[in-house]
Structure 1
Amino acid sequence: MSARDLITRLGILAGLCLVTPVVAQENSVGSEAFRVACAACHGMDGRGGGEFADVLTVRPPDLTKLSQTNDGVFPYLRVFQTIDGRASIRAHGTPVMPIWGDTFSREIGQAAGPFGTELLVRARIVALVDYIETIQQ
């Protein structure tokens, strides 16, 4: 992980600490976000066998093998950016996966103001990525 990635992750985690309670031994925010946003396609176990997997044109990847296919290192920033979807440049057509950054932003609304909303969106994505990291095999 580069220094910039580490600083970004630490800043996001600091924001997460401000907006969500500390949960010992379990990432309930992340597991709930996974259940709501990811399980329909990726399955509750993250292996790509969700109820919608068979109707998609591109099979959802097995999320439990992200570290394994990345030389044993969990690709934290890449997973974060894939879930967020707002910053990536999509030069070759539409994204295969929904852009959850936009979805989470709409769900949160503007009650926290533009900066607060962004902080809450990033905190939810961090919790989700942290959860996905825990299901690695």
Structure 2
Amino acid sequence: MRVVKFVSLAVILLMLSALAVAQQAPAQTPTVKHVPITNTPSNSGKDMYNSYCAVCHGTDGKGKGPAASAMKAPPTDLTALAAKNGGQYPVAHVSAVIRGQAALPSHGSSDMPVWGPLFSSISQGHEAQVQQRVTNLVKYIESLQVK
């Protein structure tokens, strides 16, 4: 008789526990808020990086920015680009990625904005200013490389 009461009590407690777990609100999936691009001065790669890149890649470039958890794939650790390229910083590749001219399978559905057209829009289509933005941003990212 005691065993039946014990088993019944255990079953009731398990059912109550399962019910409590089922009642909990599901965890919210982080989302990225899309905002219009701001016109950050093109002469400062650091300022552009902080305005356009740090939200995903982090201020240190390691891919741990505040929006990183909402990405389908983690943002690239920008400090390791040279290390992953035989010690040479891949200037042309980084430029192509920023402009949206490089295929990035790790981005899945391309969470990373294609900055080339965005830079063109805030530069009123002046290609020289777009190139200056890309060049200064590429140089700043180069300065983040692990030595």
TM-score (norm 1): 0.69
1:34 corresponding residue in structure 2: 49
2:82 is aligned with 1:67: yes
In 2, Cα distance between equivalents of 1:105 and 1:125: 11
Rate the CA distance shift 1:119–1:95 in 2: closer, same or farther, 3 A: same
In 1, Cα distance between equivalents of 2:127 and 2:110: 21
* Structure 2 unaligned blocks of 5 or more: 1-41
1:121 corresponding residue in structure 2: 130
2:55 is aligned with 1:46: no
Structure with bigger gyration radius? 2
RMSD: 2.0
How far residue 96 of structure 1 moved from its aligned partner, in angstroms, is 3.6
Amino acid at match of 2:66: E
TM-score (norm 2): 0.65
Percent of aligned pairs with the same residue? 37
Other structure's SS at 1:73 match? coil
1:10 corresponding residue in structure 2: none
2:98 alignment partner, one of 83, 86, 98: 83
Q: How many residues align?
A: 103
1:132 corresponding residue in structure 2: 141
Residues 45-99 of structure 1, C-alpha deviations (whole Å, 9 max, x = no match): 00000000001101001000000011000000000000011x34689x7534111
In 2, Cα distance between equivalents of 1:89 and 1:127: 22
Q: After TM superposition, where is structure 1 displaced by more than 2 Å over at least 4 residues in a row? A: 87-91, 93-96
1:97 alignment partner, one of 98, 106, 112: 112
* Structure 1 unaligned blocks of 5 or more: 1-19, 21-27, 111-116
Higher relative contact order (CA 8 A, sep 6+): 1
| 2:93–2:102 Cα contact (<8 Å) kept | no
